[in-house]
């Protein structure tokens, strides 16, 4: 059982000072995020982007401090920009200024599980469109936020959950693979910039993106025929300062836009858990074609799932439906089905909330081991019952995509602005 806490990490970081004034970085509110994943700790430190290059010592000191905490095996510290004027943010991200860029980062605190400390995005509405713009204009509420132009990406499907640990990433991976097996060109974006798990789940722990021959673009690693991008590919001890300019959301936008995705029928986005600012920002800035909510059968998770639904509704993102994960346990020997939790809750909730129920995925060791070992069950047991369950859901998603953006046509040429990764 992991005994590491946010408090222990913060305590260690108190010994790290900002060379500008000798004050400790915790006191100064520079610690913007702490993610504890077993014995692996990732810390985000907010700095003025101008000072980024001069603060490598500070970063290394912080990394040493965290590594020195009892129980920590891997410590990663990344510098990110704490404050930017909207003009500077727009320039550095090569995009029109968004409501998210001129925020004041009031919180000097950190997080461990909620992942919810991205800049607030000004609370403005999105224009939820198919990535090709097919369902365009009418969804706008409040204006102000311009969704990114995703060029040759035909649709974007976000996989969200009201709380962590419900199996959202596992579901994203298996649905992406299932969609690919159904003949779609699929990409997978790990939007959980604080606790990225897709590199591990796709067997790409040591993979790295490379520079693309297309100017300003990076070629993402691929696994099982799917292109994957994750901040997890960049955060490591050798190459630690990855996005000192843009803030959390800006980094995510860069990942999205700088990646040479090629032509995709669907980009599956594994959202960070919860319904905080980054999720809202994502839903506003990315032209999401549809959202899927993953929930476990427990009531509390369902309450959280409702929050997730409401968030997407608020920004007019079509909800493709609810999935109940770890729904039941089927004995691998005798086939007996055991409803470990209060089975069927998600189905009932979906009915009450007027959203489609997409299906249920059993609690199964094979699914867990597959995800944890980078060998997703869709690949290891493509014809098994669990893969069939994912396939049934994937077919509904493919149909919903077609409903939103129209049947497959030749994707449009990318209109991404040119930005460089620093």
Any binding-site annotation on 344? no
Half-sphere exposure of 392 (CA within 13 A, CB side): 11
Instruction: Find where tokens 């939790």 sit.
Output: 341
Of 4-12, 69-77, 365-373, 410-418, the window that binds ligand ATP (rule: CB under 6 A) is 365-373
Positions 249 through 278 that interact with ligand ATP (CB under 6 A): 273
Q: Which of 168, 227, 257, 285 binds ligand ATP (CB under 6 A)?
A: 168
Instruction: Say if residue 66 is exposed, middle or buried (CB neighbours under 10 Å; 0-12, 13-18, 19+).
Output: buried
Per-residue x/- track, 188-217, ligand ATP (CB under 6 A): ----x--x-x--------------------
Q: Which of 223, 251, 367, 378 binds ligand ATP (CB under 6 A)?
A: 367
161 interacts with ligand ATP by CB under 6 A:
yes
* Residue 123 φ/ψ, nearest 5 degrees: 65, 20
Opening angle at CA 60, ends 208 and 17, nearest 5: 145
38 interacts with ligand ATP by CB under 6 A:
no
The Cα 416–Cα 120 span in angstroms is 24
Any binding-site annotation on 166? yes
395 interacts with ligand ATP by CB under 6 A:
no
From the CB of residue 344, how many other CB atoms can be counted at a distance below 10 Å? 15
177 interacts with ligand ATP by CB under 6 A:
no
42 interacts with ligand ATP by CB under 6 A:
no
Any binding-site annotation on 266? no
Closer residue to ligand ATP in complex, CB, 61/161: 161
Q: How many residues bind ligand ATP (CB under 6 A)?
A: 21
The two tokens of residue 311 are 């968030």
Q: Which of 158, 233, 167, 162 is nearest to 370 (CA)?
A: 167
Q: Which of 32, 61, 155, 169 binds ligand ATP (CB under 6 A)?
A: 169
111 interacts with ligand ATP by CB under 6 A:
no
Instruction: Find where tokens 């460089």 sit.
Output: 420
Q: Which of 15, 164, 374, 384 binds ligand ATP (CB under 6 A)?
A: 164
From the CB of residue 61, how many other CB atoms can be counted at a distance below 10 Å? 18
Of 92-100, 143-151, 356-364, 391-399, the window that binds ligand ATP (rule: CB under 6 A) is 356-364
- Say if residues 156 and 285 touch (Cβ distance below 8 Å): no
Of 2-10, 83-91, 163-171, 236-244, the window that binds ligand ATP (rule: CB under 6 A) is 163-171
Torsion, Cα of 382, 386, 392, 394 (10° steps): -70
302 interacts with ligand ATP by CB under 6 A:
no
Any binding-site annotation on 167? yes
Any binding-site annotation on 168? yes
Per-residue x/- track, 304-343, ligand ATP (CB under 6 A): ---------------------xx-----------------
384 interacts with ligand ATP by CB under 6 A:
no
Q: Which of 135, 124, 192, 134 is nearest to 158 (CA)?
A: 192
279 interacts with ligand ATP by CB under 6 A:
no
- Say if residues 285 and 351 touch (Cβ distance below 8 Å): no
Any binding-site annotation on 187? no
Closer residue to ligand ATP in complex, CB, 75/305: 305
Q: Which of 90, 259, 123, 242 is nearest to 189 (CA)?
A: 259
The Cα 137–Cα 219 span in angstroms is 32
Q: Residue 78 Cβ, how far from ligand ATP at the closest point, in Å?
A: 18
291 interacts with ligand ATP by CB under 6 A:
no
- Say if residues 85 and 48 touch (Cβ distance below 8 Å): no
C-alpha torsion sign, points 376, 377, 379, 380 = positive
Q: Which of 307, 412, 287, 401 is nearest to 349 (CA)?
A: 307
Residue ranges that bind ligand ATP, judged by CB under 6 A? 161, 164-170, 192, 195, 197, 273, 325-326, 361, 363-364, 367-368, 371-372
């Amino acid at each position: 059982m992991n005994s590491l806490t946010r408090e222990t990490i913060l305590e260690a970081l108190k010994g790290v000072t900002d060379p500008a004034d000798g004050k400790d970085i915790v006191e100064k509110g520079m610690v913007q995020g702490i993610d504890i994943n077993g014995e692996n700790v990732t810390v985000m430190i907010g700095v003025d982007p101008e000072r980024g290059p001069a603060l490598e010592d500070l970063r290394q000191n912080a990394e040493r401090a965290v590594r020195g905490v009892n129980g920590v095996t891997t410590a990663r510290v990344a510098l990110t920009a704490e404050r930017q004027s909207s003009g500077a943010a727009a320039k550095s991200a090569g995009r029109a200024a968004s409501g998210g860029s001129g925020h004041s980062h009031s919180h000097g605190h950190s997080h461990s599980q909620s992942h919810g400390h991205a800049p607030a995005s000004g609370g403005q509405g999105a224009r939820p469109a198919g990535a090709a713009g097919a369902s365009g204009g009418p969804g706008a509420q409040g204006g102000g936020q311009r969704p990114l132009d995703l060029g040759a990406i035909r649709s974007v499907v976000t996989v969200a959950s009201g709380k962590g640990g419900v199996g959202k990433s596992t579901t994203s991976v298996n649905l992406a693979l299932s969609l690919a097996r159904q003949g779609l060109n699929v990409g997978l974006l790990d939007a959980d910039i604080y606790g990225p798990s897709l590199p591990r789940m796709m067997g790409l722990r040591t993979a790295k993106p490379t520079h693309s021959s297309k100017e300003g673009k990076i070629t993402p690693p691929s696994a099982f025929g799917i292109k994957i991008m994750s901040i997890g590919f960049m955060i490591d001890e050798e190459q630690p300062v990855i996005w000192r300019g843009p803030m959390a959301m800006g980094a995510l936008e860069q990942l999205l836009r700088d990646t040479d995705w090629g032509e995709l029928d669907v980009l599956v986005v594994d959202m960070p858990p919860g319904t905080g600012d980054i999720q809202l920002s994502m839903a506003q800035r990315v032209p999401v074609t549809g959202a899927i909510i993953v929930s476990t059968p427990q009531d509390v998770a369902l309450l959280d799932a409702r929050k997730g639904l409401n968030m997407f509704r608020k920004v007019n993102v079509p909800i493709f439906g609810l999935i109940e994960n770890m729904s039941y346990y089927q004995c691998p020997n005798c086939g007996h089905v055991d409803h470990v939790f209060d089975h069927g809750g998600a189905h009932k909730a979906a009915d009450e909330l007027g959203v489609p129920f997409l299906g249920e995925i059993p609690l199964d060791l094979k699914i867990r081991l597959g995800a944890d070992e980078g060998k997703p069950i869709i690949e290891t047991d493509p014809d098994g019952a669990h893969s069939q369950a994912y396939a049934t859901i994937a077919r509904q998603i493919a149909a919903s995509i077609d409903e939103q953006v129209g049947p497959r046509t030749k994707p449009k040429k990318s209109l991404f602005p040119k930005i460089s990764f620093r």
